[in-house]
Amino acid sequence: MMQPDISTRWQPLSDWRAIAEDWQQLEALADCSVFLSWQWIGTWLKTWPAERFLLRLYESSEQGAELVGLAIISPGFERRHGFVAARQWRLHQSGVDSQDQIWIEYNAVLSKQGWEVKVQQAAQDFVLQQPGWDELILAGIAQQQALSWHQSGLTAVLDWQAPCFGVDLQQLRAQGGDYLASLSANCRYQINRSKKRYQQRGALRLAKPQDLAEAQAWFAAIGPWHQQRWGTGPGQSGFSNPDFIGFHQAMLADYWPQQGVELLALMAGDEHLATFYQLRYRQHVYFYLAGFKPEQDKHLKPGLVGHSLCIEHYSAEGLDFYDFMAGDERYKRQLGFEHNSLCQLRLQRPRFDLRLEAAAKAGKQRLSGLLGVGKRQ
């Protein structure tokens, strides 16, 4: 029997409503992350209308054509270093720094389950044959996908790479459900010491907002704490970026009532110590960001305590996985295990100025490696 072919259709996407039904129907057949769900993609499209293109991929057989893949490409232009001018295409990003600060992760072509490899290959073949771009930027893709794209023969520039950490809640329950017992002795000691000190202020617990208005207020209140921790300049705390705030306000309004977005507060009595902002999708919890009340006592670890309670909470609810996502921060290694690796890959067509830039960047990366700097935060 002949293997079914994959055909493609390429068209401008001028109105997000035109794709909403198809995206959600394919999503229901896909094994994907929240970042390829309509919750994320739909919010992105509605928040920032712009020029975009839609790639549809169909299984063509004797029975007809079935939609098996979807991808959205944003065209853009970037001038840098005074001598590079590049026409860019981006997968599920805008190409505007203030908008892309929402940091898509687990990025890919949305594919029907079981068709991921064939759909990605067909999408790759189609995109690489199209004129009109000098750089194809794939942000937040898995390492395995990056290797596949790297085989295209074009110059591949790795902008950043980061491990992903998480906690398998199913395995935790199968092993008896004692999360603290699964941690190192030192990590357990830090958590238990912090708990005892916090409990002097009142009973330690997690709290949820009572309604959407309170959820929105809690999210806004994270801002000053987050800015104090990460800074207020460009590319630092998203709470200094109106585009970042607007995206999450839109997602809260649409998806907090459906538990697609969740906020949990760490409380000691009536004292609000921290707020954790999570994305929930299917049986998976994605830790997105948090804000912590500043403390003078360095032995107080609101992050370790709060995450441990969140993990126990979601395990008791019967969810499958608590995902810290990309980033090599120490607390992620302490609390979870490495389960994936994401990167941003930049594929470049052969041009002298791009080759010159790539060579300079490669030299800088080698030097950074020798100096022990240059890691993505």
Please tell me the class of the 166-340 domain: alpha beta
Is the CB of residue 304 less than 8 Å from the CB of residue 292?
no
Q: What share of the chain is helix, strand, coil (3-state, %, to 5)?
A: 40, 30, 30
As a whole number of angstroms, the distance between CA 205 and CA 241 comes to 31
Q: pLDDT (tens digit, 9 = 90+) per residue, 242-276?
A: 999 999 999 999 999 999 999 999 999 999 999 99
For the chain, domain boundaries: 5-153, 166-340
Q: pLDDT (tens digit, 9 = 90+) per residue, 176-187?
A: 999 999 999 999
Secondary structure class of 181 (helix, strand, coil): helix
Q: pLDDT (tens digit, 9 = 90+) per residue, 283-299?
A: 999 999 999 999 999 99
Please tell me the class of the 5-153 domain: alpha beta
111 forms beta bridges with 69
Helix axes 212-230, 242-255, angle to 10 degrees: 150
Q: Output the CA torsion 297→299→302→305 (10° steps).
A: -150
Q: Do domains 5-153 and 166-340 have the same CATH topology?
A: yes
* pTM of structure: 0.92
As a whole number of angstroms, the distance between CA 59 and CA 37 comes to 21
Q: Where are the alpha helices (DSSP H) in the chain?
A: 17-27, 38-47, 97-100, 116-129, 143-150, 169-174, 185-199, 212-230, 242-255, 302-317, 330-335, 352-371
DSSP letter, residue 257? T
Q: Residue 352 has what pLDDT? A: 76
Q: Where are the alpha helices (DSSP H) in 130-208?
A: 143-150, 169-174, 185-199
Is the CB of residue 227 less than 8 Å from the CB of residue 333?
no
pLDDT band per the 50, 70, 90 thresholds, residue 373 = very low
In this structure, are strands 321-326 and 284-292 parallel, antiparallel, or unpaired? parallel
As a whole number of angstroms, the distance between CA 195 and CA 186 comes to 14
Task: Specify the amino acid at residue 200.
Answer: Q
Scan for tokens 């996407």, then name that residue. Answer: 13
Q: Which residues contact 58 (CB under 8 A, 6 or more apart)?
A: 6, 7, 8, 9, 65, 66, 67, 68
As a whole number of angstroms, the distance between CA 114 and CA 160 comes to 29
Q: pLDDT (tens digit, 9 = 90+) per residue, 8-22?
A: 999 999 899 999 999
pLDDT band per the 50, 70, 90 thresholds, residue 81 = confident
Q: Residue 377 has what pLDDT? A: 33
Q: Residue 368 has what pLDDT? A: 44
